[in-house]
Each structure stands twice: as structure tokens, then as C-alpha cells.
Amino acid sequence: MNTRAPVLESAGSAKAPVLQVENLRVEFPTRRGTLVAVDDISFRIDPGEVLGVVGESGAGKSLTGAAIIGLLEPPGRIAGGRILFAGERIDTLGRQEMRRLRGRHIAMIFQDPLTSLNPLYTIAHQLIETIRTHLDMSERAARKHAIELLFEVGIPDAGKRVDEYPHQFSGGMRQRVVIALALAAHPRLIIADEPTTALDVSIQAQIITLLKRLCVEHGTSVMLITHDMGVIAETADRVAVMYAGRIAEIGAVQQVILGAMHPYTHGLMGSIPMIDRDMDHLVQIDGAMPRLTEIPPGCAFSPRCKEAMPTCFSERPDLARVGDAKVACWLFEGDEKTGRRSEEANAAGKGSDPDAARLEAEANSDIADRAKERASAGASDIDRKTDEIEGRTATMADGTDDILVQVSDLARDFDISPPLLNRIFEGGKRSVVQAVDRVDFSIRSGRTFSLVGESGCGKSTVARLIVGLYTPSGGRIEFEGRDLARIDGRGEIEGIRKRMQMIFQDPYASLNPRWRVEDIIAEPIRAGNLLQGRKAIDARIAELLVQVGLSPLDGRKFPHEFSGGQRQRISIARALASRPEFLICDEPTSALDVSVQAQILNLMKSLQKELGLTCLFISHDLAVVRHISDEVGVMYLGRLVEWSDAATIFDAPMHPYTRMLRDAIPDLKMTGQDRIPVAGEVPSPLNPPSGCHFHPRCPHVEERCRREIPQSTRRDGRLVACHAFEEGRLPPSKSSIPDDSIRNPE
Amino acid sequence: MLAFIIRRLFQSLLVMVAVGFIAFSLFNFVGDPVNNMVGIDATIEERQRMAESLGLNDPFPVQFARFAANAVRGDFGQSFRLSVPVEDAIAERLPATLELVFVAALLSLAIGVPLGVYTGLHRNSPLSRLLLTVSLIGISLPTFLIGILLILVFSVWLNWLPSFGRGETVDIGWQSNLVSLDGLRSIILPALTLCLFQLTLVMRLVRAEMLEVLRTDYIKFARARGLTNRAVHFGHALKNTLVPVITITGLQIGNLIAFAIITETVFQWPGMGLLFLQAIQFVDIPVMAAYLCLVAFIFVLINLVVDLLYYTIDPRLRIDKRVHGQ
Ligand SMILES: Nc1ncnc2c1ncn2[C@@H]1O[C@H](COP(=O)(O)OP(=O)(O)OP(=O)(O)O)[C@@H](O)[C@H]1O
Ligand code: SF4
Ligand code: SF4
Ligand SMILES: [Mg+2]
């Protein structure tokens, strides 16, 4: 079926934008009125260009993508504006014509590779079906093409694996298959909706690299939707920042990331923790993005904006050209009113009027100044804070005096063998996962220790072992020098458990939806009989609510009345209710948007200081970990591979795995340095590699690594479990000096 | 998979033993078998001789073992009422019931699946709403009432179809309704009555599953690749709805056999259900016991088949579980 949409005929002109979106508006008619989810947005994408679209959850990014490809789910509909593909209008195309366009000219990639493929069909089936829908090919030719595609997206042994089912591929490999499917008919535009969000950092880096390479090779344009500024910085040519269904700022990626103009973008950039420097405090945008039903008149950002003026609350700023970028903010729109010429006029008069050029330059330099001002304000802020931190002692615990929690040789196995009968009749083997394999670390009181690592490395298991949700299969956990396993008295162990509290990742699942917030917070108080009398308890609840930045009146409400960030505050209040000394936080911010994450991180830092809490912090986000912790342990497949203080581990990582992780973090400073490509994927924990678990991916591997499990070696205030480190043959770390020549250690 | 089958067989065996035990208990707890066999005026010696010859004086486990051994060979003794071996009575009635159930199941799938797909795809069309409302009525009316209504309309008023009995049957190894016109005409009303409940069930199930599957990412992705609606709906969506549909249909075939009792009574269909009902009236315990065992056996068998079907449909369940990392 190669009937071509009329669109294709004119698609020849290479210079014309691939996609133009003009004043697009997407609405949802509901019982309580019409919701405007995407409101008057315009942008274009040029051939071969990658346009990043960032914004917080619910900003309308996905809906914009869905509208372009004609897959809005009813009752959602395009209520205004035009969408042009290669110069031809496509938002008015009929269903059949639109279908022919999809996949053939515009393709789409979704977030979750685990659910994007039909589990009941082989990869070959799905690829061939897609190819033959769009290209006039025989079954055989399509199969050949399918294998070529798989090969192209980096699937080893493609000829054989093409006949396997999706569940036989790992997450990263499935996303590669998804990309192959999207590329099957050589579309001119790919809309990638959070293509790497569900993946581990190291896989994320690989997929981004792959996507970039393929688009360059095929000249494909990409609309890259994500909430991750780092991914944008790595990949995009231009970026559009969306807020509450509108575009706040759009421009070249350098410009937007380094010289953000719109107050929202500016705040957003400041709220992202940085991997390469210490910051005491993140820039905080208070509040959260408004729900669609309550978007304020005027500028949607006005309730959160520190620079809001009276006009902002009544009149809506339009996207106006400022220098090379476009910004929707009154701060930057005054130019025309104050008598200066607007950019539009400049552009129109360009060439013919010598004066215009001068004026333009003037206007631009003015803008540049303003952006610079802001940037430097932020930077000096940071400098000052760095100085503050400099003084703190940040070496690993040598003394034992103030150690609160000591974990030695901690191990935990999970038996996931198939049942006996299967083992007998199908030769199934006994299989035991060593989720935690002889892990040692200690946490000094008043400090934050973080465990990082990719999914499945065992970090959450460690947390659960410590709070007693699992029992260890080996090793010891000591709290204040007392072995938790040896405490007999029930009351006593409960007393200790009360002094530890845990905060979980999902603020939606961890609060009972039927309870009022006050009851949720009071539960540990009542259960532990910590306070008597209604009055005392109520007073304590109010105090806790204020402590986490909520109002005492919020106690009467139910969890569903709160946003994700507020719910996480409630979780924190509940955890603090029993006045614990030790807080265990398992990915407490990974379900939150960056600006909200910054609020929670700031809150946790100040609470820690105020209450003298000791924290075990678990996260896969290295930048967050850097920001929050004093010391960091890196885990890989159940083992602790490196342990050091936060600055050392990120500025000068030692263990090859830490280096790889560090390198997988997209560079927000846009230095343009190429990263060392990250190799391979985390092997199955069921069948980990012999010796050093990291050896199949390690650039420094030698024979000994395959045989012998490396033991931790202590040197220069860090513990590293690596033969190469012990033998002193690891090259010095490069990251401490930005332009180090020893980038690639080979 | 072998382990799976073995486990299933073992479970099935347990079920059968349990059912056998219940069936066997009937002899001991419902009525006195000797009383049923001999005349009222039999002497005590006669009764004792009878009991002895029936093995009723043996210890309980021995009696049960004997019953089980016989049952496995299909020997359930003599029907008290008909005075023929139970297995013969059943063999004569079984085809009638099985054909009825077969036709009913076929109808419910042949009508239920397309209707389910339609109502799933066109969620808000008037026809969908109508179908859903009607199906609700279908589910809430008792079977016998539906049967009587059908008889009233098609036999009494319109006089199109016979109102009772199997009509003309042809011997094709068994007495069949399915090869003669008269036989087919006779089976329509009872099969329709019997299938109505399952039809609505299948339709609603397919609809719910369709709606669920249509929301999944792989369907969205399939659409985004520009596959035709036909390929998306019938290639990708429908196949994914099949697993639960097969389960329910399988279980329902068992239920159909059980429900057939009512339908067979309404239509005087000479099947096992009718036989069982008459057996109850006359406390014909061997027949009751045999019926119980047979129905349980069919249930177990269907379940086994259903489980095996999963394996053919869903590749994730097949032996090869390895996930490639590199
Ligand atoms: N079917 C619907 N009915 C009503 N509102 C909807 C519907 N689908 C989406 N919305 C709303 O439209 C807004 C934008 O949604 P969209 O999915 O585009 O956000 P997004 O920027 O992609 O966010 P995320 O980062 O969470 O993916 C959200 O407020 C969302 O709740
Ligand atoms: S328009 Fe006003 S409220 Fe909106 S971002 Fe600009 S300054 Fe802030
Ligand atoms: S022990 Fe060997 S394989 Fe493992 S990280 Fe060190 S050098 Fe690499
Ligand atoms: Mg989205």
C-alpha cells in the first residue's frame, strides 16, 4: 500500500520548514466547561533540526505532539490554529489521509519501551507489518529491511533476534526496537515523547546518542519532548519551554539554557541540581503549575513569579521576539512601548535601513546584558554558597565516635527459583538473586549518606534491610553500636525502630486516600503513644505541618486535594512525627517535577540542619545525590563499588563504573564536549558476571578481574573495590579539570 | 510446560477424587440402597444377603476404592429407575446434551465476540448503547422464562419451530441433531435459550477487554505507525483480548452443561440434565453419582485445555524465559 498522501508531492523543497505549528489550541470539553490544554502555541521545525520541548508534567507537551500526529484522544480536539507539514496543512486531513501520513512521514516514539510493543507478536512481525503498510515491498524484502533496521539501531545478532518476542529483550533494547519501528518508512519528522525517561542513566545516554546519530544520517527532524533539561542540552538545536499549555520561551538551546530570559525558565534552570558543583540551596520557584481549571488570567506564571508586575495579572503576554529567541513575558515586551523598535520592525527594515541595524544591535546588546545580569546574579549566589560549604569536613569516617548506623558485610539473597516440579522436568535451575552482596558502610550522625546506582542494583533493598522490612541473610546492622539482630526485647527494638523513619518514592501510593491528613500524620504518634490528649496531638500536628511548609488548616483535608510535591511534604511530616533521628529516603523526589523537587530538596536540607537528622538517601539521580549528601556510596549489582565524600566522588570519580555513570550525565553547561560512550547494559542480576561484576563493560578489564572479586581498597579518603585501583593502574580522574586531555583512558 | 501439565493433572486428579467421594457418599447418606433394590416386603435375611452381595458390609475405604475403580472404568452400576446400566443410560443421553452445549457455545462466541468488538470500538454509538441495554435484560431474566417466551413467540404464535424434543435425529456414530433439517430446527430454540446468558457475558467481556487494550501503549504506538484500523483493531487489539475470553468461555462451557438442566426441562430435551432431574425425583442414586462425576470430569478437562491454549496464544508463558542483556 504505497498510496501517498498529497502532502508528499510538495515535500521536495529542502529548505522549507518540515513542520509549522501556528496558534495551535487544544481543548477538552468537559461537564464543567471547556479546558484549554494547549493554548495558542506556534513554532516550526526545520529539516534535520531537533526541537526540544520541555516543561513540567501537565504543561501540554504530549498533547501538542498528539495533536500534530493526529492522535488526540477524544474528547480532546484541535480548536484553533493550523499545523503544516512540509508546507501543507495536515490538521484538516481526513482520517485515512492522516493515517497514511503517520509512520510514513511523521513517526512517534513513546516513553515506556516495555509497553510500546505488542507482547504477542515477534519483532519481525511488527516491523514487517509496519514496513509493508507504507512501502511497496514483498514479505522477503521487508524482512531484509527489518533486519537492516535492527542492525542500524544497534541490536547485535539482528538476523536471529528479529524472530524473538518483545519480552525477550531488555528495556534499552526494546527502546531500540521502538526506534527501528519509527524509522521503518524513513519519516521526515519523529515526535519522541520522553523517549528516555523510563530508562537508566547509562541506557538513556546510549539511546540519546543513537537517536542523534540516526537523525543526522537520515536528515530526520525530531520534536523531542522531555522534562529533562540535560537531555535537551545534549540533543536539541532549539528548545521550547512550555508552561501551563503555553510556550514561555523558545530559542536556540545555548541561549535558553545559558541565558534564560523568562523568569520561569530562569527559575527552572536554577532549580536543577548540578553534578559538578556544590550548592547549598537550589533556586526555588514556590507553588506548582496551576491545574487547567484554574489557570489565572494574564500571565499563567504570575502567581509564582517573583518579578510580576500589575500588568502580569491582567494581561496575557504574547510570545515576542527578543534577540534570537522569543519570550512571552512583560519584562521583555516593554521595548516597543518605551519607544525602542521591536524585533519585527527591525527584521522588516533589515538591509534597507542602515539605522535599523544599529538599533537592532543596540536592542540585542540590551537583551544580552539583561540575560547576563541574571546569569551572573545566579552564579555569584552559587559562588558564595560554595565558599560556605568549603569549610565543612567532608572526609570519610575514620573515627568511630559519632557513627550512628554501621552496616557491615550486609547481604540479602532472594530465592526466585522456579518451583520444584519445573526444576525437575524442565531442567530449571535453582536461582538466587544476590540483591545485596556484602555491603559495608557507616553513616555518621547528622550527616547524609547516599546510595546511588542504576535500577536493580540493590539500593532500595539496603534501605529496607535497615528499617527491618526485610531480614538480612548475612552481615550486621548496628545502630548506635548495637547489633539490631541481637536486641531481644520487643519493646527495645521497637524503641529503636521508632527512631528510624522511611520516606517513599511515590507520594500517591504511600498516603491512605481515605484518611485526613491530620490522621495520617498523627498515626505514628498514636501508635507509639508518644503524646497524650487531643490537644497535645493537635498542637504537634500543626507544628509538623508548618515545619514542612504547609498550613495547619491543611490537616483537615484529604490527600487527593494536594499536588505531588505537597503530598511528599505530608509524607515527610508523618515521618517526622515520632521525632526520629534517622531518616531513610527512598527516591523521595523522583516522581516530582524539577521545580517541585527543588522545593523538597531545600526543605529536607533545612529540616536536617534544624533537627540534626541523620539521613540515608537513595536515588538514581547523581546530581540530586551530589546536592543532598555528605558521603556517597555507589552500588553495582548488589555490591558497593565506591564510597567517598560527595564532592570527591563526582569531581574525581575513581571506580570505572562511577566514571561511566558520571559521564552519562548530560552536560548542562553546554561545553560541547563529547562524552565517552557508555557501553553495554546492566547484566541480569540472576546471572551476574564472574569476578568483578563490572568487567564486561569495563575499559580497564584484565584477566584478574574475571576471576577475582575485587576487595575494597582505601586510599586518599575513599574506598574503591577495583583491581585496577588497587594496582594503581587507573588513570587519574579527568572530571576535576574541565578540559583535561586524559578524557579517554585508552 | 511439562511441569505445568503435571501439576495441573495432579490438581485435576485431586478434584476428581473429591467429587468421587461426594458422589460415593450419596449412596450412604441419601436413602438406603438396599431399600431401593428390594421390595418393601423383603425379609431381613433377603436384605442382608443383598447388602452382602452389594459389598455394603465391607469397611468404608474398601467400598470407596471399589466405587472409584468401577467409576474409572465407567461402571456406575444399575439405574434404580430404568434398570439398565447407568453408563448405557448416560451414553444414550450424553450426545443430546453435548450437541446442545456445543451449539450454544458456538453461538455465544460467534455472536458475542463480534458484538463485543463492535461495542468496544464504537463506545458511544446508539447501537452500542442499545445492545448493552438489551444484554442487561438478557442477563437478568431467568433462563426458564426466556425459554418459555421463545416457545411462545416462535412455536405458539409464529409456529416456525418445534417447541420440544429433539425432532428427527440421525445416527452418525451417535444420534445427532446436526445433520438433518428437522434436527437443526429443533435445536435452535433450546440452544438460543441456553446461550443467551453466555452470549451477553462474552460480549461484555470482549467489550471491556477491548476498551482496556485500546488504551495500552502498544495500540497507541501501532496507530502512530500508521497501521490501518483493521490491523490495529483485529490484528493487535483483538488477539490481546483473547486470553481472558478463552478462560471465561472455557469455564462457561462447564456452566452450560450445568445450566442445561433447566433448558432441557423447559424444552423436554432428552439430555443428561433431564436424566439427572428425573434421577433426583426418583432418588436414582447411581445416575446422580455418575452425572456428578461426569460433569466434574468435563469441567476439569476444559480447564486443562484452556490452560494449554494460553501457552499457544501468549509467548511470554512459553518456556523460553531468557532476557538478553547485551
Ligand atoms: N483526556 C483528557 N481530559 C482532560 N484533560 C486532559 C486529558 N488529557 C490530558 N489532559 C490535560 O492536559 C494537560 C496537558 O497534558 P499533557 O499530557 O500534554 O502534559 P505533558 O506536558 O505531556 O505532561 P507529562 O510531563 O506529565 O507527560 C494536563 O493538565 C492534563 O491533565
Ligand atoms: S509576564 Fe510578568 S508574571 Fe509572567 S513571567 Fe513575566 S514578569 Fe513574571
Ligand atoms: S576490577 Fe577490573 S573489571 Fe572491575 S572495575 Fe576494576 S578494572 Fe574494571
Ligand atoms: Mg507527557
Taking a C-beta distance cutoff of 8 angstroms, is the pair A405, A584 a contact? no
Whole-number pLDDT of residue A1 = 42
3-state helix, strand, coil in chain A (%, to 5): 40, 20, 40
State residue B40's pLDDT score: 65
- Asked whether residue A369 carries a pLDDT value surpassing 90, the answer given is no
pLDDT at residue number A692: 92
And the C-alpha cell for A537? 496531638
Element (H, E) at B103: helix B86-121
Angle at B276 between CA B271 and CA B282, to 5 degrees: 130
Please tell me the predicted confidence (pLDDT) of residue B1.
67
pLDDT in tens, A276-328: 777 777 888 888 888 878 888 889 898 888 888 888 898 888 888 888 888 88
Residues 6+ apart with CB under 8 A from A125: none
Judged by its nearest atom, the ligand closest to the C-alpha of residue A29 is 1
Question: What is the rounded CA–CA span in Å between residue A634 and residue A656?
Answer: 11
What is the distance in A from the centroid of ligand 1 to the CA of A32?
Answer: 17
Note the residue count of chain B: 326
What's the pLDDT at B20?
Answer: 86
Does residue A560 register a pLDDT over 50?
yes
Q: Is the pLDDT confidence value at A381 over 80?
A: no
What 3 state SS string does A76-142 have? CEEEEEEEEECCEECCCCCHHHHHHHECCCEEEECCCCCCCCCCCCCHHHHHHHHHHHHCCCCHHHH
- DSSP H or E run through A336: helix A334-337
Residue A9: the pLDDT is: 44
Tell me, letter by letter, the H, E, C secondary structure of B30-89: CCCHHHHHCCCCCCHHHHHHHHHHHCCCCCHHHHHHHHHHHHHCCCCCECCCCCCEHHHH
Maximum separation of any 2 CA atoms in chain A, in Å: 90
CATH topology (fold) of A1-105+222-258: Rossmann fold (3.40.50)
Instruction: Write out chain B's pLDDT in tens, 326 residues.
Output: 677 778 888 888 888 888 888 888 877 666 666 666 666 676 777 777 777 776 667 777 888 888 888 888 877 777 777 778 888 888 888 888 888 888 888 888 899 999 999 999 888 888 988 888 888 877 788 877 888 888 778 777 887 777 777 777 777 777 777 777 777 777 878 888 888 888 888 888 899 999 989 888 899 999 999 898 889 998 889 888 887 888 778 878 888 887 788 888 888 888 888 888 888 887 777 888 888 888 888 888 888 888 878 777 777 776 444 433 33
CA A522 to chain centre: 33
- Residue A301 CB partners (closer than 8 Å, separation 6+): A243, A244, A248, A262, A263, A264
Q: What is the residue with the minimal CA distance to atom 28 of ligand 1? A: A58
Using CA atoms, how far residue A478 sits from A445, A712, A739, in Å, is 13, 20, 43
Q: What is the pLDDT of residues A192-232, one digit of tens each?
A: 998 888 788 888 888 888 888 888 888 899 999 998 888 88
**Per-residue model confidence (pLDDT) at position A735:** 47
Q: B164-174 burial string, b = 16+ CB within 10 Å, else e?
A: eebbebeeeee
Confidence band for A142, pLDDT divided at 50, 70 and 90:
very high
CB atoms within 10 A of CB A136: 11
Residues in Cβ contact with A673 at an 8 Å cutoff, skipping those fewer than 6 apart: A667, A738, A743
CA distances from A474 to A127, A440, B207 (A): 48, 12, 51
Strands A448-452, A631-636: pairing kind: parallel
Q: Which residues line ligand 3 (CB under 6 A)?
A: A 656, 692, 694-695, 698, 700-701, 705, 710, 722-724
CA A168 to chain B, closest CA, distance in angstroms equals: 5
Phi, psi of B171 (to 5 degrees): -85, 110
* Closest chain A residue to the Cα of B242, Cα to Cα: A120
Q: Which residue has the higher pLDDT, B172 or A577?
A: A577
Nearest to residue A173, comparing CAs of A230, A232, A117? A117
**Phi, psi at A673, each rounded to 5°:** -65, 145
Measured in degrees and rounded to the nearest 5, phi and psi for residue A33 equal 110, 175
The angle at the Cα of A297, spanning A296 to A303, to the nearest 5 degrees, equals: 45
Rounded Cα–Cα distance for residues A362 and A354 (Å):
13
Query: Which amino acid does the sequence have at A732?
Result: P
| Residue A441 pLDDT | 92
Please enumerate residues of B whose Cβ is less than 8 A from a Cβ of A.
1-4, 6-7, 216-218, 220-229, 231, 235-236, 239-240, 313-316, 319-320, 322-326
pLDDT digits (tens, 9 = 90+) for A588-603: 888 788 888 888 898 8
**What are the chain B neighbours of A149 within 8 Å (beta carbons)?**
none
Mark which residues 410-439 of A lie under 8 Å from B by CB: 418-419, 421-426, 428
Per-residue pLDDT of A176-190, as tens digits, reads 899 999 999 899 999
Judging by DSSP bridges, how do beta strands A221-225 and A50-55 pair with one another?
Answer: parallel
Residue-level pLDDT at A334: 55
Q: What is the mean pLDDT of residues A104-118?
A: 89
- CA of A373 from ligand 1 middle (Å) equals 35
Strand partners of residue A107: A190
CA B303, B307, B312, B313 dihedral sign is positive
Q: Which fold has domain A397-499+580-726?
A: Rossmann fold (3.40.50)
Query: CA–CA separation, A523 vs B127, rounded Å?
Result: 52
Regarding predicted confidence, which is higher, A74 or A742? A74
Q: Over the Cα atoms of chain B, what is R_g?
A: 24
Strands laid side by side in the A432-444 sheet = A432-444, A403-415, A474-479, A482-483
Burial of B42 (0-12, 13-18, 19+ CB in 10 A): middle
- Contact residues, A window 184-223, toward B, CB-based 8 Å cutoff: 184-185
Q: Mark out the alpha helices in A137-189 (DSSP H runs).
A: 139-152, 158-161, 171-183
Q: What is the pLDDT of residue B33?
A: 64
- Please state the atom number of ligand 1 nearest to the C-alpha of residue A225: 22
Cβ atoms of residues B135 and B203 within 8 Å: yes
First to last CA, chain B: 27
Tell me, what's the pLDDT at A21?
A: 93
Residue with CA closest to ligand 1 atom 17: A62
Query: Between chain A and chain B, how many beta carbons pairs sit less than 8 Å apart?
Result: 117
Under DSSP, the state recorded for A169 is B
Q: Which pLDDT score, from 0 to 100, does residue A240 have?
A: 94
SS (H, E, C) A17-73: CCEEEEEEEEEEEECCEEEEEEEEEEEEECCCCEEEEEECCCCCHHHHHHHHHCCCC
- Residue of chain A whose Cα is closest to the Cα of B315: A120
Instruction: Give residue ranges with CB within 6 A of ligand 1.
Output: A 28, 35, 37, 55, 57-63, 73, 76, 227, 292
Query: Is A335's pLDDT higher than 60?
Result: no
Average per-residue pLDDT for chain A: 81
| Cis before A75 (ω within 30) | yes
Return the H-helix or E-strand segment holding A404.
strand A403-415
Are the C-beta atoms of residues A596 and A590 closer than 8 Å to each other? no
Looking at chain A, which residues constitute the CATH 3.40.50.300 domain(s)? 1-105+222-258, 397-499+580-726
A146-171: average pLDDT: 87
pLDDT exceeds cutoff 70 at A699: yes
User: What pLDDT score was predicted for residue A349?
Assistant: 36
Q: Touching check for A516 and chain B: CB below 8 Å? A: no
Greatest alpha-carbon pair distance for chain B in Å reads 87
Q: What is the 3-state secondary structure (H, E, C) of B141-203?
A: CCHHHHHHHHHHHHHHHCCCCCCCCCCCCEECCCEECCCCHHHHHHHHHHHHHHHHHHHHHHH
Place of cell 563504573: A657
* Residue A573 Cα distances to A548, B50, B80, angstroms: 6, 81, 76
A78 grid coordinates: 484541535
Within 8 A of A680 by CB-CB distance, chain B residues are 325-326
**Subunit contact A102:B324, Cβ cutoff 8 A:** no
Interface of A with B in 140-159 (CB under 8 A): 156
Confidence of residue A428 (pLDDT cuts 50, 70, 90): low
User: DSSP assignment, residue B234?
Assistant: I
Choices 1.10.1060.10, 3.40.47.10, 1.10.3720.10, 1.10.8.60: CATH for B86-141+194-325: 1.10.3720.10
Instruction: With a cut of 90, say whether residue A632 has pLDDT above it.
Output: yes
The interface predicted TM-score (ipTM) is 0.75
- Predicted local distance difference test score (pLDDT) of residue A687: 80
Which range, A382-386, A460-464, B284-288, is most confident? A460-464
CA distance A744 to A313: 53
Residue B129: other Cβ atoms inside 10 A? 13
Residue among A173, A181, A681 whose CB faces B225 most closely? A181
3-class DSSP state for residue A413? strand
Would you give the distance in Å from CA A382 to the centre of its chain? 23
Q: What confidence score (pLDDT) does residue A734 get?
A: 61
Q: Is pLDDT of A380 > 70?
A: no
List, for residues A503-548, the tens digit of each pLDDT value: 888 777 788 888 899 999 998 888 877 888 888 899 999 999 988 8
